[in-house]
Chains A and B, each alone.
Chain A
Amino acid sequence: MPAAKTQEKPKSFQDLILTLHDYWSAQGCVILQPHDVEVGAGTLHPATVLRALGPKPWNAAYVQPSRRPGDGRYGENPNRLQHYYQYQVILKPNPPNMQDLYLGSLEAIGLDLRTHDIRFVEDDWENPTVGAWGLGWEVWCDGMEVSQYTYFQQVGGLDVSPVAGELTYGLERLAMYVFGVDNVYDLPFNDPDAPLGHLTYGDVFLENERQQSEANFHGYDVAVLKRQFEDMEQQVPLMLARSYQGKSLVLPAYDMVLKASHLFNLMNARGAIAVAERASYIGRIRDLCKLCASAWVEQQDAA
């Protein structure tokens, strides 16, 4: 059982991120920076989707900006954002004490586990666009989902062996809870006593939410999105057919899958995808993702 560290509670949103970085770094994770392609969830970072596959151990933690165009609320909803941060930890193979490590991280960011009600509630995670699923839980803190905890069983339609454990923290929500803030835009982004000045989450992101919401719901040209989607779709197999030093270009190909996936989300937010078409779009992205996953695993096994 991790002993309660005598650590100061984080003072700001960024402090919370740094605390998690410290914590997971101390456990032996590599601390990565965000992937530079728009994604809907931290899972989609190649450090999770691709690295979960193959036999090599891999322990990493990173923050990933996540875009959910349909969740835009023009900055008017205190809980919903179309752009937010996920904190992602991937541990392969999952260590036997992973639950305790996770609880230790909650304690590190200032949650007193004797006064809060932490619960592991069944939630079988799946992401059909990348052909991935796993078993695990939503972790609740006083009735609020603060993390998703998953033992990956398949990614890209391939078995994950050894099993990788994945943790996803919804950072804004967690921070609102830790700091007792009711509106995400009121979160202290940096230390309120910072000598160079204090900024709130709203100072940093409110305008972005307004403009992006309008673009998501009304701005993007559906015909252009559709064309770009199809371009990406066509590029993936071409990129995979190309190789360098005997390895097919799976990493760039996977970036294109991510772009296609984001374009799909934008079309969806524009209401341009009929319910009946949804499944077929998702199937197309999944097929591309499977191509990448198989190519990746081949390279891992060969290495």
Chain B
Amino acid sequence: MPQLLLELFSEEIPARMQAGAARDLERMAREHLAAAGFLPEALKTFAGPRRLTLVVEGLPIAQADRKEELKGPRVGAPPQALEGFLRKAGLTQDQLVERDGVWMAFIEKTGRPTTQIVAEMVEAIIRGFPWPKSMTWGASKLRWVRPLKRILCVFDREVVPFAIEGIEAGDVTEGHRFMRVGYGWGGQPFKARDFDEYAKGLLDHFVVLDVEERKSRILEGCKTLCFARNLELVEDLGLLEEVAGLAEWPTPVLGDMDPAFLDLPGEVIRTSMRTHQKYFAVRDPATGGLAPHFITIANVQSADGGKVIAEGNAKVLSSRLSDARFFWDEDVKVGFEPWLDKLNGVTFHAKLGTMAERVERIVALATWIAPQVGADVEKAREAARLAKGDLASQMVGEFPELQGLMGGYYAREFGLDADIAGAIRDHYKPQGPSDAVPAAPLSVAVALADKLDTLAGFFVIDEKPTGSKDPYALRRAALGVIRTILDGGHRLPLLFAGGSALLGFVRLFKSGMLNVSLRPDAPLPEDEDSRAARAVVYDLLAFFADRLKVTLKDQGKRHDLVDAVFALGDDDLVRIVARVEALDGFLKTDDGKNLLAGYKRASNILKAEEKKGWKAQGGREILPDASAPEVQLHDALRMIEKPLADALAAEDFTAAMRELAGLRGPVDAFLDGVFVNSDVPAERDSRLKTLAAVRDAMGQVADFSLIGG
């Protein structure tokens, strides 16, 4: 069956937009073809530096003829209704047929030629293409990502005739911008009437169409160069993706770097190579450190084997690294105190004050957190005070992604304690799910302070994440807090943490007082500020609960277990997770499953009776004539009372579950053998109290009512 080939040839498309463009082209083509009633056998798109390509296999020459049945008004309906229907259908009354008392129209539509549909489709795609940014050029009214130069559109080996804003579709495209067959330079046009001719023509004219092939050529080329010089490539998938969008004929070239620059921090060299020059770094396999070379991905295979290109790039890298060295030299002349002073002039967020104010809050928070994570308070204050200083340094001004890291380097350069330097360096960690969490107590204190301030601040000004929008990366911050606390086993009550973080904003907003005791049981003055503050902290806690659920779900834990544990009002993450894990283990046992079922039955009975007004009053007494199952459960409850309390006090939740397991048999026997709603009020009351005691005992471990069966 016939094939459609479309190429939209333009000036250079930004690398970062190419993958999305290929997806959009595919989606739009599918939608258009489906709407025209086509079901092609295959559809594929490609994107590269200068072209978007679509190939569709197995399209018919024309749409199938279609019969449409239109239902009109019923016979005898007002004449206006009938007239309206005729107008809409473009028919006269004698063409209508009566069926079951309704006027019907049977319209036969001849299928349109595919070329017509393709022409309309291409025009609609071009005019409606969702480029992240588009432009106009010359006097044209067309919008494209960069000027659109050619449209190649062939169907069944014939040009599809159409033109858009003066660009006529044809069967001609052109090859590489510089490389060509024969002498000279410059793109050579060639004809292609189907995909095979097209793909071959491109290769003959030095264009690799498929981004995956460009990527594998780059990787292979890099590895070959490395092997020949006994080097190791520092792999970088993001960079690979980018450079694959910058060259139609990607050609790795190895260049040399002045080894004198190797005394700069490795991160500075790598960042300079990557962000400014889009070079791959290489390692010396013997030392594991950076080697004084780089690999650039050229777009041309030059006549001299890349010598000129390597030399030119080496020169550029040298001047970049000279700049970096200049920044380093200037920065170490300045130092933290003047930088901190500069932070007074840096706005963190219009509603959350300056960076200097943020530093003050982080210091206060770190002071509070330090003792709870085993860090020295004075050192934590100092590390927190200095942590943001490097934002005012020249190096971080040039390479924002080196924030923290440079602060750490400079702190060491200035002779500060290694753990303070480490805390400055690591306080942004973890920067994503795959980044390590800080481990040193001092780093933990500052890292938590930094994130809690961010979270509390944006919650205060109601900039919470919604749906897929999280512009301040608050989810990442909360997850960072969770991971840091859990990994280190730190005991940090989150409600207090949230409240303490909030305190930092009180002065900023010059609002009234804020009570740090934000726990539900703490007395709180009944004023607006306190209520608002309490609401924010509870919001924050719920946000943490959600994030924790996601984390535990990733580990295969059921989210209802997290709910069941959170319902106890605990805010100690370590304890919460220990409970969830014990609960998870327990519910996988036979005892656990049965006890949960028993709990549900007991709790249903209690709920029904409580609705009717029953309430447990006075102590739980066993009646002298109680049945054996009653006595048994009564005793079992008494027996586990102390060991359960001890296990909970020791936070040994597995042991606590084991104690509960002892209730399983007696609970089953009770529920099966005892009629709770006895006509004798004293019996009914005693039995309900026994069930309530079961519910209470289990309720100390988790809210079992929130657990799904």
Our pick among A80, A93, A96, A116 for the contact of B308 (Cβ within 8 Å) is A116
Q: How far is the CA of A193 from the CA of B98 in the complex (A)?
A: 101
Q: How far is the CA of A113 from the CA of B137 in the complex (A)?
A: 26
What residue of chain B has the Cβ atom nearest to residue A113's Cβ? B185
A177: B residues at CB distance < 8 A: 312, 315
B395 contacts A by Cβ under 8 Å: no
Chain B positions 272 through 315: 1 when the CB is less than 8 Å from some CB of chain A, otherwise 0:
00000101000000000000000010111011100011011101
Asked whether A116 lies within 8 Å of B312 as measured between CB atoms, the reply is yes
B178 contacts A by Cβ under 8 Å: yes
A252 contacts B by Cβ under 8 Å: no
A182 contacts B by Cβ under 8 Å: yes
B12 contacts A by Cβ under 8 Å: yes
Asked whether B323 lies within 8 Å of A117 as measured between CB atoms, the reply is no
Chain A 165-179 interface residues, beta-carbon cutoff 8 Å to B = 165, 177
A255 to chain B, nearest CB (A): 30
Q: How far is the CA of A238 from the CA of B309 in the complex (A)?
A: 54
A56 contacts B by Cβ under 8 Å: no
The segment from A24-32, A133-141, A204-212 that touches chain B is A133-141
A202 contacts B by Cβ under 8 Å: no
B317 contacts A by Cβ under 8 Å: yes
Our pick among A80, A119, A137, A275 for the contact of B346 (Cβ within 8 Å) is A275
Q: How far is the CA of A128 from the CA of B44 in the complex (A)?
A: 41
Interface residues on A, range: 35 or more
Our pick among B133, B139, B146, B316 for the contact of A144 (Cβ within 8 Å) is B316
Asked whether B135 lies within 8 Å of A151 as measured between CB atoms, the reply is yes
Asked whether A114 lies within 8 Å of B147 as measured between CB atoms, the reply is no
Asked whether A115 lies within 8 Å of B303 as measured between CB atoms, the reply is yes
Given A79-B323, A115-B303, residue A143 in contact with residue B277 (CB < 8 A): yes
Asked whether A151 lies within 8 Å of B246 as measured between CB atoms, the reply is no
A78 contacts B by Cβ under 8 Å: yes
Q: How far is the CA of A144 from the CA of B298 in the complex (A)?
A: 12
Q: How far is the CA of A135 from the CA of B335 in the complex (A)?
A: 39
A94: B residues at CB distance < 8 A: 137-138
Chain B positions 4 through 20: 1 when the CB is less than 8 Å from some CB of chain A, otherwise 0:
00000001101110000
B536 to chain A, nearest CB (A): 27
A190 to chain B, nearest CB (A): 24
Given A120-B11, A162-B139, A275-B347, residue A114 in contact with residue B303 (CB < 8 A): yes
A35 to chain B, nearest CB (A): 26
A116 to chain B, nearest CB (A): 6
A219 contacts B by Cβ under 8 Å: no
What residue of chain A has the Cβ atom nearest to residue B49's Cβ? A120
What residue of chain B has the Cβ atom nearest to residue A80's Cβ? B323
Asked whether B302 lies within 8 Å of A116 as measured between CB atoms, the reply is yes
Asked whether B316 lies within 8 Å of A275 as measured between CB atoms, the reply is no
Asked whether B298 lies within 8 Å of A114 as measured between CB atoms, the reply is no
B51 to chain A, nearest CB (A): 14
Given A4-B184, A93-B138, residue A115 in contact with residue B133 (CB < 8 A): no
Asked whether A144 lies within 8 Å of B185 as measured between CB atoms, the reply is no
Asked whether A122 lies within 8 Å of B16 as measured between CB atoms, the reply is yes
A214 contacts B by Cβ under 8 Å: no
A117 to chain B, nearest CB (A): 4
Asked whether B15 lies within 8 Å of A122 as measured between CB atoms, the reply is yes
A120: B residues at CB distance < 8 A: 11-12
What residue of chain B has the Cβ atom nearest to residue A277's Cβ? B345
Asked whether B136 lies within 8 Å of A144 as measured between CB atoms, the reply is no
Asked whether A163 lies within 8 Å of B138 as measured between CB atoms, the reply is yes
B259 to chain A, nearest CB (A): 17
B47 to chain A, nearest CB (A): 14
Given A115-B303, A116-B308, A144-B315, residue A121 in contact with residue B186 (CB < 8 A): no
Asked whether B186 lies within 8 Å of A122 as measured between CB atoms, the reply is no
Chain B 343-367 interface residues, beta-carbon cutoff 8 Å to A = 344-347, 354
What residue of chain A has the Cβ atom nearest to residue B247's Cβ? A119
Q: How far is the CA of A88 from the CA of B179 in the complex (A)?
A: 28
A124 contacts B by Cβ under 8 Å: yes
Q: How far is the CA of A163 from the CA of B12 in the complex (A)?
A: 18
A1 contacts B by Cβ under 8 Å: yes
Chain B 324-357 interface residues, beta-carbon cutoff 8 Å to A = 326, 342, 344-347, 354
B643: A residues at CB distance < 8 A: none
Asked whether A144 lies within 8 Å of B312 as measured between CB atoms, the reply is yes
Asked whether A114 lies within 8 Å of B302 as measured between CB atoms, the reply is yes
A66 contacts B by Cβ under 8 Å: no
B300: A residues at CB distance < 8 A: 114, 116-117
Q: How far is the CA of A277 from the CA of B342 in the complex (A)?
A: 13
B662 contacts A by Cβ under 8 Å: no
A142 contacts B by Cβ under 8 Å: yes
What residue of chain B has the Cβ atom nearest to residue A97's Cβ? B149
Given A120-B11, A143-B277, A277-B345, residue A135 in contact with residue B146 (CB < 8 A): yes
B14: A residues at CB distance < 8 A: 122
A165: B residues at CB distance < 8 A: 137
Asked whether A117 lies within 8 Å of B137 as measured between CB atoms, the reply is no
What residue of chain A has the Cβ atom nearest to residue B279's Cβ? A143
A277: B residues at CB distance < 8 A: 345
A153 contacts B by Cβ under 8 Å: yes
A275: B residues at CB distance < 8 A: 342, 345-347
B309 to chain A, nearest CB (A): 5
A136: B residues at CB distance < 8 A: 146
Q: How far is the CA of A67 from the CA of B139 in the complex (A)?
A: 33
Asked whether A99 lies within 8 Å of B11 as measured between CB atoms, the reply is yes
What residue of chain B has the Cβ atom nearest to residue A95's Cβ? B138
A134: B residues at CB distance < 8 A: 135
B73 contacts A by Cβ under 8 Å: no
Asked whether B137 lies within 8 Å of A163 as measured between CB atoms, the reply is yes
B160 to chain A, nearest CB (A): 23
Asked whether A274 lies within 8 Å of B16 as measured between CB atoms, the reply is no
Chain A 86-133 interface residues, beta-carbon cutoff 8 Å to B = 93-96, 99-100, 113-122, 124
What residue of chain B has the Cβ atom nearest to residue A2's Cβ? B186
Chain B positions 240 through 262: 1 when the CB is less than 8 Å from some CB of chain A, otherwise 0:
00000011000001000000000
A122: B residues at CB distance < 8 A: 12, 14-16
Given A79-B322, A142-B309, A276-B346, residue A162 in contact with residue B138 (CB < 8 A): yes
Asked whether A119 lies within 8 Å of B299 as measured between CB atoms, the reply is yes
Q: How far is the CA of A120 from the CA of B14 in the complex (A)?
A: 9
What residue of chain B has the Cβ atom nearest to residue A96's Cβ? B138
B12: A residues at CB distance < 8 A: 120-122, 137
B11: A residues at CB distance < 8 A: 99, 120
Interface core residue of A1, A122, A153, A274 (most chain B CB under 10 Å) = A122
Chain A positions 61 through 73: 1 when the CB is less than 8 Å from some CB of chain B, otherwise 0:
0000000000001
B58 contacts A by Cβ under 8 Å: no
Interface core residue of A80, A121, A142, A143 (most chain B CB under 10 Å) = A143
Q: How far is the CA of A151 from the CA of B296 in the complex (A)?
A: 28
A100: B residues at CB distance < 8 A: 186
A54 to chain B, nearest CB (A): 13
What residue of chain B has the Cβ atom nearest to residue A99's Cβ? B11
Asked whether B184 lies within 8 Å of A117 as measured between CB atoms, the reply is no
B139: A residues at CB distance < 8 A: 93, 161-163
A-B contact pairs, 24 of them (CB 8 A): A1-B185, A77-B326, A78-B319, A79-B323, A93-B138, A94-B138, A114-B185, A114-B300, A116-B302, A120-B11, A135-B135, A135-B145, A142-B309, A142-B311, A142-B312, A143-B313, A143-B316, A144-B316, A153-B136, A162-B139, A274-B345, A276-B345, A276-B354, A277-B345
Name A residues whose Cβ lies closer than 8 Å to a Cβ of B: 1, 3-4, 73, 77-80, 93-96, 99-100, 113-122, 124, 134-137, 141-144, 151, 153, 161-163, 165, 177, 182, 274-277
For the complex with contacts A116-B302, A117-B296, A182-B315, 16 further pairs of A-B residues with Cβ separation under 8 Å are A95-B138, A96-B147, A113-B178, A114-B179, A119-B247, A134-B135, A135-B133, A141-B312, A142-B311, A142-B313, A143-B312, A143-B316, A161-B136, A274-B344, A275-B346, A275-B347
3 tightest A-B contacts by CB?
A142-B312, A274-B345, A122-B14
Name B residues whose Cβ lies closer than 8 Å to a Cβ of A: 11-12, 14-16, 133-139, 145-147, 149, 177-179, 184-187, 246-247, 253, 277, 279, 296, 298-300, 302-304, 308-309, 311-313, 315-319, 322-323, 326, 342, 344-347, 354
